[in-house]
Amino acid sequence: MIVVNDKMQKNYEYELAEKEGCNFDFEFNPELTPKQMLEFGVFEGHYLNDCRKEFPDDWFINAKLSMNKPDIECNLFGVKSRQPLSVWRNKGWIIEPDIRGWFQWYCRYYMGRRIEKIDRIQIKRWKAFKRHKIQIEKNCMMMDFDCRKKQRQALLQWAYNPFF
């Protein structure tokens, strides 16, 4: 049983129904783990800073983090890559109980939490994001990582490998 008490969520509990990184839905095949994403540099280094106790310590050993404020230098592609949480809320992209958004859902799912209704919604969103990978494949030369940096950073933040 995981108990969450952080800046944004109090007394939320969930059970891990699967082993970490195992038994994903057959439609959900992320190309990166949460640990890899954090090591590459996502969300301007300012996403899970106040809730690290919820997740495995080893995810943060080489993570690129900015403790005081978002810092684009922490992002792998060095570009601004996020909108305020208020925008996500206004657009209906925050699905309780994952009040920080898709990446929080993915971290919890990766650890083994399963909530069928929410998992279906988030997996559908993840699958729809693949359109950005297709756009990079169509418009960028192979190995040109300066091409469409914002889209590559966004792919990284949705567990897609931006290096293709």
Cβ burial of 28 (10 Å; 0-12, 13-18, 19+) is: middle
Contact in structure between 127 and 102 (CB atoms under 8 Å):
no
**DSSP for 130-160?**
HHHHHHHHHHS-TT-TTTTHHHHHHHHHTT-
Contact in structure between 3 and 132 (CB atoms under 8 Å):
no
d(CA 85, CA 90): 9
Per-residue pLDDT of the chain (164 residues; tens, 9 = 90+): 999 999 999 999 999 999 999 999 999 999 999 999 999 999 999 888 889 999 999 999 999 999 889 999 999 999 997 788 889 889 888 999 999 999 999 999 999 999 999 999 999 999 999 999 999 999 999 889 999 999 999 999 999 999 97
Q: Where do the domains of the chain lie? A: 2-157
Report CA-CA distances (Å) from 27 to 23, 24, 32, 120, 123: 11, 8, 15, 9, 7
d(CA 33, CA 159): 7
Which residue from 128, 131, 98, 101 is spatially nearest to 113, judged by alpha carbons?
98
- Which amino acid, one-letter code, is at 87? V
d(CA 106, CA 121): 12
Which pTM does this prediction carry? 0.94
- Give the number of other CB atoms < 10 A from CB of residue 150: 13
Scanning the chain, the segments in alpha helix (DSSP H) are 34-40, 85-90, 102-111, 116-139, 149-157
Q: What is the pLDDT of residue 49?
A: 87
